[in-house]
Structure 1
Amino acid sequence: MADQTLAKFVNQRRILTLLRTRGALSRAELSRSLGLTQATISRLTSQMIKRGHLREVKAAMPGKEREPGRPGIALEVDPVGAYFVGVEIGVSTLRIVLLDLSANVAEAVETKLASKPTPQLAADAIATTIKRFAEKASYRGRVVGVGVTVPGLVTSEGFIVNLPILGWKNTDFRSYLMSATDLPVTIENNANAAAFGAVYTQPGLVAPYTVFLKLGTGCGGAAIVNGRLLRGVDGTGLELGHIHVGEMGAVCSCGQRGCLETWVNLAALSRAWTGEEPGPVDLNLLPDEVASACDRGDARAIGATSSIAQHLATGLVSLINVFNPAQVVLGGAMIPVLRRALAEVKASVATRIIPGTRMPDILISPLGAYECAIGAACISHHVSFDISNVEIGGVFEETYRVSPGTSLTSKADMPAREAASNPSSLSS
């Protein structure tokens, strides 16, 4: 019985993942794509329709695709079948999104937060917004998970090792939030979350290997391999902003000199444009101001943009030579400047990577200001419903809270909101 329940669990996730990434398909197409009998597909999808995870839609199909009694009917993910909250904890700000089952944003809000809240105060503020979502008739009973992202060092288990902007160290914030919301919670570094969201929400762009850089106050990095974040032994690896680019420059946040971060962040943009260090308020407006000045033909702004482009290209050359990614995605507050620097970055990288190395696509993240919150919600979605999260004997047993070897038949229809999150399953 346990084997049958496991097969059902895995196959329903396979169906959801296929429909989310490819769009509406007939039962016959699902059968062929997944190697399952049409009877099995019909049984599994009927259960998923009852749960509200799938819905039937009319579709134009050739006669041979039509099933008896179901002319021109396809299946697709029902967006309103479940919702996931994504939260970015920033400096005095919470950005919060509600993601539907199709991984599209249903709502997005920004709220103020005390400049240095305690973990309990932050958890309570997040729980208040979640409660407002959950009390709306359209979402009631369907908010099933929460993802939180922070600009700090986070382990694979979601333990915050160091969060300098809030003064948190060795903090089990996941426990605070689970107590405040009674929902499964994942905690992730902001660059990891933004990277994951950029890939997860754009299935047409998914590549086997993606490198992501988030450029803003700092420079965070991440890599995604076959749908999973590459982490390192403790989950704190891939601090790509701290690779050495050969010029000493300003002192980095890590205490060293010569890090990529110090040459491509907002402070570096200010120094290149004005010759001065920026104030805290200036940082928020700087990228748009420099981009607008470039449009007016301002020589110093154009020079500052070129400086960012060349130093970024230097960092990317090293990363491409090491990782050989299919695509590089750039995000963060620097996007207005990055859009204008992109052509120069591509040209410089193409001439400097090891001859014979594949030139990756270099793209701007499509997610905008809420990219970290969206990514955090995507990780929660992934934990609850995506097939690439399944690890036999790991996620399945943890999700259903049973011991190895226990009969799982009675757990088969446990709703998604009862699934315990398992961030470590995202590790490679």
Structure 2
Amino acid sequence: MANQSLVRHINERRLLGILRVSGPVSRAELARRLSLTRASITGMIDDLLARGMVSERAREDSPERRDVGRPGIDIALEPKGAYFFGVEIGVGVLRFALLDLAAGVAETDEMPFDRGLAPEQVVGLVADKLASLVLYRDSIRAMGMTVPGLVRRDGHVINLPILGWKDVELGALIAARIDLPCHVENNANAAAFGHIYSDPRPHHGVVVYLKIGTGCGGAVIIDDKLLRGGNGLGTEFGHLRIAADGPLCSCGQRGCMETFVNLKALQRYATNRDVDEAATDPQLPAQVAAGLAKGDPDAERAVTTLAGHLTEGLVDITNIFDPDEVVLGGAMLPVLDAVVERVAGPLRRRMVPGMSLPLLTVSRIGAFECAIGAAALAHHEEFDLSNLDLRT
């Protein structure tokens, strides 16, 4: 990219970022923030207006234009100017989300699929879904996809035991079927990023996210950026060893937090008997939450036991990362408020003395958190300055 074009591209991303975070802004203020001349900012805005990515909006109160008797004009992000497609490959379910240019959710949908399908067949289902979005087809700029397994930065799925996938070049399979930039990510990383990105304000500090459902995935965000590790495989908190023994984990080890803090474990605690993963009831968290409200002792035992095991892992995570916030999300959502209530006290007592208790919160994005997070990552990759290659 020639230097002049690169500078314009950078300024365009900066301008769109300002509008997403700040809302409508005047031309003069944009020129000031970007350190551009009036002519330069006018040319850039005129180009974005022509491409449908921004719009003009009259201000009701405009002191600087009041003397000429007409309202001032702000520049606003045009949500319909671009869309970003997010896909979650879950356990027998595909979830889809479409975000607009303002990172608002335009559509969501889901469909079941046979867990025995080959990866290329699943990608085919995704391609078919994308082709069906005829109202948005020409405006979709990029896509993101998540899987509940180990994913390298280049989109190579190392291991996805829940679906039986191993060493799958998922990024290459997508590129062969879909002509869009695609960013493949671990599902917990995507859910965590979606949680942060849904609030346009800059976030400073450390946020730890735990996605608790069929498994227990983890993610860390530092100053708005995912901590991925050297090969993109870091923060696998579900495989922290919190016991000397325990159920056999999908990783081949015993004692992993994931086997004590997931749907199958909650059912084990609620019924006092082990169950096969296929027999795990996805409605169990809602049923346990209803039981808690009625004072059911089995529900109380189940939540208290799960919270105790979660605390074991959070003690190590908190002592290592000193997070400002710990967010819980995933399919356990109906019981997570009760879990937080039971974790806070024991965690405070067992942290390194002098450390501050992180804010413990529950994600409210819901069932589409991974698909929304995947689309948010695509939005971020296309418009954030940190993703530009500025090497000459």
Normalised-by-shorter TM-score class: over 0.9
The Cα shift of 1:67 comes to 11
Amino acid at match of 2:375: A
After superposition, the Cα gap between the structure-2 partners of 1:363 and 1:391, relative to the gap in structure 1 and judged at 3 Å, is: farther
Q: How does 1:239-254 map to 2 (within 5 A)?
A: 239-254=236-251
Instruction: Give the TM-score normalised by structure 2.
Output: 0.93
Contact 1:147 1:186 in 2 (8 A): yes
Amino acid at match of 2:283: L
Deviations 1:142-189 (A, max 9, x none): 012121111111001111111223322211122222222211111111
Amino acid at match of 2:252: G
| 3-state SS, counterpart of residue 283 of structure 1 | coil
After superposition, the Cα gap between the structure-2 partners of 1:68 and 1:185, relative to the gap in structure 1 and judged at 3 Å, is: farther
After superposition, the Cα gap between the structure-2 partners of 1:165 and 1:259, relative to the gap in structure 1 and judged at 3 Å, is: closer
Aligned equivalent of 2:92:
92
Deviations 1:281-311 (A, max 9, x none): 4331111111110011101211211122222
Amino acid at match of 1:25: V
Separation in 2, partners of 1:351, 1:299: 26
Contact 1:200 1:206 in 2 (8 A): no
Amino acid at match of 2:118: T
Aligned equivalent of 2:143:
146
Q: Given the alignment, which residue of 210, 214, 218 partners 1:213?
A: 210
Contact 1:264 1:312 in 2 (8 A): yes
Separation in 2, partners of 1:273, 1:254: 25
Corresponding position: 1:335 with 2:333: yes
Q: How does 1:121-270 map to 2 (within 5 A)?
A: 121-133=121-133, 135-136=134-135, 139-204=136-201, 206-270=203-267
Separation in 2, partners of 1:332, 1:67: 54
Higher relative contact order (CA 8 A, sep 6+): 1
Structure 1: gaps (5+ residues) = 394-403, 405-428
Deviations 1:339-394 (A, max 9, x none): 2222222233223222322332221112100111111111111111122323412x
Aligned equivalent of 2:113:
113
| 3-state SS, counterpart of residue 343 of structure 1 | helix
After superposition, the Cα gap between the structure-2 partners of 1:152 and 1:69, relative to the gap in structure 1 and judged at 3 Å, is: farther
The Cα shift of 1:256 comes to 1.7
The Cα shift of 1:85 comes to 1.0
Separation in 1, partners of 2:211, 2:200: 20
Deviations 1:380-414 (A, max 9, x none): 11111122323412xxxxxxxxxx5xxxxxxxxxx
Aligned equivalent of 1:412:
none
Aligned equivalent of 2:27:
27
| 3-state SS, counterpart of residue 238 of structure 1 | coil
Give percent identity, aligned residues only: 45
Separation in 1, partners of 2:349, 2:67: 54
After superposition, the Cα gap between the structure-2 partners of 1:141 and 1:297, relative to the gap in structure 1 and judged at 3 Å, is: same
Aligned equivalent of 2:12:
12
| 3-state SS, counterpart of residue 28 of structure 1 | helix
Contact 1:219 1:265 in 2 (8 A): yes
Q: Given the alignment, which residue of 302, 318, 325 partners 2:316?
A: 318
Separation in 1, partners of 2:65, 2:325: 35
Q: How does 1:349-368 map to 2 (within 5 A)?
A: 349-368=347-366
Separation in 2, partners of 1:170, 1:67: 67
